[in-house]
Structure 1
Amino acid sequence: MASLADFWRYGVVKTARKLKAAALSPVYAGRGEAAVRSAYGVLMVPNWQDTTFRYCIFGTYGRDLSDLLLRRRDDFVFVDIGANQGLYSLIAAQNPHCRQIIAFEPVPTTHARLAANVALNGGAARTALHLLAIADSVGEVTINVAADHTGTATLAGREGGKAASGGVTIHTIDAPVLDPLLAGELPMFVKIDVEGLEAVVIAELAKTANFARVEAIFYEVDDRWASAAEIEALLRGAGFTCFTKYGRGHHYDVLASRS
């Protein structure tokens, strides 16, 4: 029964949302609006050529993470790693219990849209934006960014920093630099979407003193380039005991929590 429900929710419904985004995006783009309200209720600066933006607007990503963020009833800090244009930072800001948002987006053009979206929704006062990627070293590397799908940008397999055609130079930090950026007292809810580098990011997070404040991590898994078992083992070793899968097939999300 669960598999049938997952097929409907993550197969049929999600596919329908993708088709809707493809069909209606040209219509919406033709309106020339200065801001567009997404299916999640937040405003975003138009970026219609980008598949990631269109998925944000038409709710293609579903409600799994957004509901988790909106339903929290205790004060918390939201850490958005791989924030892109800021959809989940904006959603978290809708919850008055979210006292601070710390967002990491290393690609300059995407980061500029993130900053514009945060300002558009009035959340700048409690949002710290960092033009940085979390990796296992400090330095500069080159990342490929597809103009028509910014959400596919990744450092996975490119830690050596070799230049690539169409690449963009970004800055990376490791645990010692990251730790003071997370300083605080409240529990943290972390989202990680870094296209295959999730294990590296989690390993660096685990080295920080502030990692003890992380109550939950919502991370993306794609079995084609990441090992779900490796990530789970890493988190279990760091004190996480509960793992809930959202999605089906080779590409899905996992919520890891300490209890």
Structure 2
Amino acid sequence: MTGLAAPSPLGAFVEYGLIKTLAKWRARALSALRPVSDRPVQTRYGVTMHANWRDRTFQYCYHGTYGPVLADYLAKWQQPFAFVDIGANQGLYSLIAAQNPQCAAVTAFEPVAATFARLTRNIAANAGAAKVAAIDAAISREPGSATIATDGAHSGTASLRHADAKGETIRILGAAEFDLLIDARLPLVVKIDVEGHEEAVIDVLMASTHLPRIAAIFYEVDRRWTDAAVIEAQLRAAGFARFTRYGFGRHYDMLAER
């Protein structure tokens, strides 16, 4: 299976530079009108999540602001596969993958305690919950613990890169622990959204015994702290041949496929 076609440069500017920015403003404005509530609601992506109207990440999930690229990719995968969600947050993409009848297993890694609690509640609120294993840990080169910066108003910006002494202590799993938790039978689709820690996670994947079975990796790039060329070179050396960019400017998403 190959990725969706990337937009032209002009199309990317319109879709990601203008339309997506306006969609984010709209989501924030509409969410501000909502009463404080954590009741389950159906998002624009067709999965159920417990409401968290003061969190920008939930707002974007509910209103469909992240766009259709990865959601469609997971929903339309046509062969048996397992999904690995590194930086799962509240579980949007894990839940979408679990709805696909071809998806046999989902492993969702989320290290922040409050976000992990929402992730587990969201999993339980959806069909396919039995497929999803939620792991309260991050992935990095060395196991142990670390301090992560968090933001209750935008849970998706939690970052090991920007942490200070006031952050939250989280559990870290290395390659050996990672390998034990991943489905060992099927092709893997991997999503990485770790706010500047992408290169470390890619290193873990390169060291993983599961590497030959990874069919696709969807990862985030921010040129302020991510060396996209280094990541692409690693992936090409590991046999990934197709790279598709989705986005505009210094912050965008990449899909690497074999």
Q: Which bin holds the TM-score, normalised by the shorter protein?
A: over 0.9
| Alpha-carbon distance in 2 for matches of 1:70, 1:46 | 23
**Aligned pair 1:86/2:91, yes or no?**
yes
Mind listing any 5+ residue stretches in structure 1 that lack a counterpart?
none
8 A Cα contact 2:109 2:134, kept in partner: yes
**Could you say which residue in structure 2 is the equivalent of 1:142?**
147
Structure 1 stretch displaced more, 216-225 or 5-14: 5-14
Shift of 1:34: 1.2
Instruction: Please tell me the residue identity of whatever aligns with 2:177.
Output: V
Partner residue, 2:54: 49
CA contact (8 A) 2:148 2:162 kept: no
Write the deviation string for residues 46-90 of structure 1: whole angstroms up to 9, x where unpaired. Answer: 111111111111111111100111111101001000000000001
In the alignment, which residue of structure 2 is the partner of 1:171?
Answer: 171
The corresponding residue for 2:119 is 114
Which of 125, 134, 141 is equivalent to 1:129? Answer: 134
For residues 166-220 of structure 1, the C-alpha deviation after alignment (integer angstroms, 9 at most, x for no partner) is: x111000111111111142110000000011111101111111111110000000
The one of 1, 11, 18 aligned to 1:5: 11
Q: Work out the CA distance in 1 between the residues paired with 2:184 and 2:241.
A: 24
1:238-257 matches, cutoff 5 A: 238-257=238-257
Percent of residue pairs identical: 51
Q: How many Å separate the matches in 1 of 2:141 and 2:10?
A: 40
Partner of 1:216: 216
Name the SS for the 1:154 alignment partner: coil
Please give the alpha-carbon distance, in whole angstroms, between the structure 1 residues aligned to 2:20 and 2:197. 24
Once residues 251 and 33 of structure 1 are traced to their aligned partners in structure 2, the CA distance between those partners, rounded to angstroms, is 31
Q: Output the CA distance in 2 between the equivalents of 1:229 and 1:211.
A: 20
Preserved contact between residue 149 and residue 162 of structure 2 (Cα < 8 Å): no
In the alignment, which residue of structure 1 is the partner of 2:4? none
1:59 to 49, 59, 64: 64
Distance in 1, Cα, partners of 2:215 & 2:84: 11
CA deviation map 1:131-167 (0-9, x unaligned): 0100111111111101101111111266xxxx522x1
Q: TM-score, normalised by structure 2?
A: 0.94
CA–CA distance in 2 between the matches of 1:123 and 1:47? 22
Q: Residue 37 of structure 1: CA displacement?
A: 1.3
Distance in 2 (CA, whole Å) between partners of 1:91 and 1:151 is 18
Output the CA distance in 2 between the equivalents of 1:251 and 1:53: 20
Secondary structure of 1:74's partner?
A: coil
Q: Secondary structure at the match of 1:128?
A: strand
Which secondary structure state, in structure 2, belongs to the residue aligned with residue 145 of structure 1? coil
CA contact (8 A) 2:219 2:253 kept: yes
Question: Which structure has the higher relative contact order (CA within 8 Å, separation 6+)?
Answer: 2
Matched, 1:22 2:28: yes
TM-score (norm 1): 0.94
SS of the equivalent of 2:176 reads: helix
Is 179-188 or 111-120 further displaced after alignment? Answer: 179-188
Contact 2:38 2:52 in 1 (8 A): no
Structure 2 counterpart of 1:206, which letter? Answer: M
2:234 is aligned to 234
Cα distance, 1:168–1:33 mapped onto 2, change above 3 Å:
closer
Separation of aligned partners in 1, 2:232 and 2:10: 25
Task: Mark the runs of 5 or more structure 2 residues left unpaired by the alignment.
Answer: 1-6
Partners of 2:134 and 2:209 lie apart in 1 by 21
